[in-house]
Chain A
Amino acid sequence: DQQVKQNSPSLSVQEGRISILNCDYTNSMFDYFLWYKKYPAEGPTFLISISSIKDKNEDGRFTVFLNKSAKHLSLHIVPSQPGDSAVYFCAASALHGGATNKLIFGTGTLLAVQP
């Protein structure tokens, strides 16, 4: 049972335009969400996170939006640059009752930014 879903395996965007990557989750106990970027042959690199008490977090060109009622989050990249081309993973964790802060990952979305 996939608790974190990224339904778009790939996305192609023109340089300078907005990239929107989507993620849905099913576990209402998740309270912390993260986005990671991954280049081939490298480990995931942390991009941005959001706590469930917020609905938006911004860091430079990256903004994450959280809609708890819809169990949906999205990552906006504006403006998109060719160097942003990578696989993007959405991840979630639930911290309650002493549970491990393990991350549950989606399957990733391959973003290609065309020059």
Chain B
Amino acid sequence: GAGVSQSPRYKVAKRGQDVALRCDPISGHVSLFWYQQALGQGPEFLTYFQNEAQLDKSGLPSDRFFAERPEGSVSTLKIQRTQQEDSAVYLCASSLAGLADKDTQYFGPGTRLTVL
């Protein structure tokens, strides 16, 4: 596809369950970002990949959050033992350039996670 895609679009989990959220970036994009958007707030940075290397995970809120991009394209954000405060929209963005360049980030539609 032409844009960033994410799946599933909606996910309901019971507290304590593990979830996995998928992101397919724009083909050829070097950089991939995950953001978390709580209701009424702007997106907040979680983690950054340049190709398969996770160069920044400073925004991950706890060690229950884990992200990977093993082949430098598709990425998965995993949340273990979900808590109610994890309920949010999780956005993935990709950009063509690597770390040192200013570049536009293109966002996917997001996955809305609701933890009951």
Residues in chain A within 8 A of chain B (CB atoms): 4, 31-32, 34, 36, 41-46, 49, 51, 89, 91, 93, 95, 98, 100-108
Contact = CB atoms under 8 A, between A and B. Distances in A.
Interface residues of B, number: 32
The interface residues of chain B, by DSSP majority, are classed as loop
Contacts, number: 74
A43 B45 contact: no
B113 to A, nearest CB: 14
Interface in B25-48: 31, 33, 35, 40-45, 48
Contact of B99 (A36, A44, A98, A105): A98
A51 B42 contact: no
A96 to B, nearest CB: 10
Contact of A93 (B40, B44, B102): B102
Nearest to A100: B56
Contact of B100 (A89, A95, A107): A95
Contacts of B41: 107-108
B102 A101 contact: yes
A101 B31 CA distance: 9
